[in-house]
Amino acid sequence: MKGISLWEPWASAIAWDLKRIETRGWLTPYRGPLAICAARTTLHAGFIHDPSVRRYFESVGITRVDRLPFGHIVAVARLNQIYPVEHLTNISEQERAFGNYDAGRFGWDLADLRRLKTPIPFRGMQGLFRIPFGTLDGALFE
């Protein structure tokens, strides 16, 4: 399985099904299972208080930065397809609030989302990376 690290609170937004399209500036030929890892950095965690997204986070009980699962695998999804953002014409207001849809970027369509009941400590990396075999053994999903 591959993994990808996202800064918080975007990793939690995916885990809580607030966001289904991850926007990136690069493509990958990979399609398949993808572990969503919350990076350890707290640099942008205050985004949970941004007026454009606060109500979405509050709807799932995310109200405090210190409760975000920094440095953990938080969910597993399937990377279904990747589209140039210019082809994504029916994006909801909520989805748009969580992504960067500038020209030249790509929307990674995530499907079959499963949030971990208990996030698993994990040090992520840049780009796509391999999740060691057995890392998710015994994981319980919501």
Report the pLDDT value the prediction gives residue 107, as an integer from 0 to 100.
Answer: 98
Condensed to tens digits (0 to 9), the pLDDT of residues 22-62 reads 999 999 999 999 999 999 999 999 999 999 999 999 999 99
Domain count, the chain: 1
Q: Flag whether 140 is in a domain.
A: no
Cα(55)–Cα(51) distance, rounded to whole angstroms? 8
Q: Flag whether 25 is in a domain.
A: yes
pTM: 0.95
Residue 5's nearest CA partner among 105, 124, 109, 96 is: 124
Q: What is the CATH number of the domain that holds 112?
A: 2.30.130.30
Condensed to tens digits (0 to 9), the pLDDT of residues 94-112 reads 999 999 999 999 999 999 9
Q: What is the mean pLDDT of residues 118-128?
A: 94
Q: Which residue range(s) make up the domain with 92?
A: 2-130
